[in-house]
Amino acid sequence: MPSNKSVSDAPIFQFTNCRILRNHELQREDLWVREGKILNPEKLFFDEKGSADIQLDCKDSIVAPGFIDVQINGGFGVDFSLATDDFKSGIDLVSQKILSHGVTSFCPTLVTSPPSVYHQILPQISVRNGGAHGAGILGVHLEGPFISKEKKGAHPERCLRTFEAGAFQDLLATYGSLDCVRIVTLAPEMKRSSEVIRELTQRGICVSLGHSVANLSQAEEAVQQGATFITHLFNAMLPFHHRDPGIVGLLTSDKIPAGRRVFYGMISDGIHTNPAALRIAHRAHPKGLVLVTDAIAGMGLAPGRHTLGQQVVEIDGLNTYIAGTKTLSGSVATMDTCVRHFLEATGCSIETALEAASLHPAQLLGIEHEKGTLNYDSDADFLMLSDSLYVQATYIAGEQVWRRDASGM
């Protein structure tokens, strides 16, 4: 009779006494893991005649896929848009610290900067798997500089750019390289943006619409060219108007190509978006909602002055402003806080709240077969959570990388 060793010598872990988020619902079953992947127990029992080497009691925790943050500007004093000699140690620190927030993968985000900053920073970021060292890096999110002056938000106006005759070459010259770039946020009303969107999409880069004064038809045209995401819905775009709803109108547009879904980021921190606006968006297009932190260097630090790229920002409680103004500039909310606030504000199910921070960002990036679910053969990146969605432990590739200690830290 073959044993489980006939397939692999790696130990099999069985997580018991838990409710697993699978197929959009919490199911009371065990989670089986081997070599960093989620196992199908039926195959294990019947094909391999195998059994668990190690059993772990989850003490009735919720087990959910690890969170994926596709828009995070930094945290813990580290600013991803600031070129420094020890940039790598900064990104390592953030990736380590966000494990306690349940984030197992992320897209470090750079705000509008001079070309020299992109040329210096981008070669220092590489796509990598997560582990005990920290959350995995899925690729960079470049937010700007090809955005609208009218809706620049916290982006420095002097660094904004437009597309000239060789539009895509302009973009390449500005960034220097697209090797590790996963998302580009741009304003679709800019001249020649269509050809840029097409070219980026062909290279497998997700195009997001944001910091824009686009009307609905311009936004629809961008989606028809390949754009699939909206950067922080409602923030830094024209407000919804009944005769021309602008980018917001994409949530219920009938001009989206068949088989395509438009996703939209939301900063669910109780500051950037009124709970009523969060509810409107969620009810209009629940399957597209992606929770993002838009966190800045001041996340995890005391109130005071910090940086966001070329700007100085001031933190006052949960509010972050460009110093000396009332212009909001990113957030200091953590991903687990955003998930809990979204649950409370919308009255949605626990499953829906968790999927907005895991399944939906994975679908946006086209990695839902590896991450964002606990389906068989997917990566064993998962969280143990309390009923009130506080993270108790974080696992990457089946290995515990963070656990809340008895004192609650």
Q: Which residues are catalytic?
A: 294
What count of other Cβ atoms lies within 10 Å of the Cβ of residue 178? 19
Strands 54-65 and 136-137, sheet pairing:
unpaired
Alpha-carbon dihedral 100, 134, 22, 340, rounded to 10 degrees: 30
The answer to whether the annotation marks 272 as part of a ligand binding site is: yes
The answer to whether the annotation marks 385 as part of a ligand binding site is: no
The answer to whether the annotation marks 243 as part of a ligand binding site is: yes
The answer to whether the annotation marks 29 as part of a ligand binding site is: no
The answer to whether the annotation marks 129 as part of a ligand binding site is: no
Instruction: Give the whole-angstrom CA distance, residue 324 versus residue 171.
Output: 32
Contacts of 278 (CB under 8 A, 6+ apart): 266, 268, 342, 345, 346
Indicate the burial class of 99 (C-beta count within 10 angstroms; 0-12, 13-18, 19 or more): buried
The answer to whether the annotation marks 329 as part of a ligand binding site is: yes
The answer to whether the annotation marks 232 as part of a ligand binding site is: yes
The answer to whether the annotation marks 330 as part of a ligand binding site is: yes
| Beta-sheet strands, E only, within 222-318 | 229-230, 263-266, 289-291, 304-308, 311-316
Strands 67-72 and 54-65, sheet pairing:
unpaired
The answer to whether the annotation marks 341 as part of a ligand binding site is: no
Half-sphere exposure at residue 39, Cβ-oriented, CA atoms within 13 angstroms:
28
The answer to whether the annotation marks 154 as part of a ligand binding site is: yes
In 98-163, alpha helices (H): 115-121
Indicate the burial class of 303 (C-beta count within 10 angstroms; 0-12, 13-18, 19 or more): middle
Core vs surface per residue 141-176: b (16+ CB within 10 A) or e? bbbbbbbbeebbbbbbeebbbbbeeebbebbeebbb
The answer to whether the annotation marks 358 as part of a ligand binding site is: no
Which residues are known binding-site members? 143, 154, 211, 232, 235-236, 243, 272, 328-330
Which residues are known binding-site members for substrate? 154, 235-236, 243, 272, 328-330
Which residues are known binding-site members for Zn(2+)? 143, 211, 232
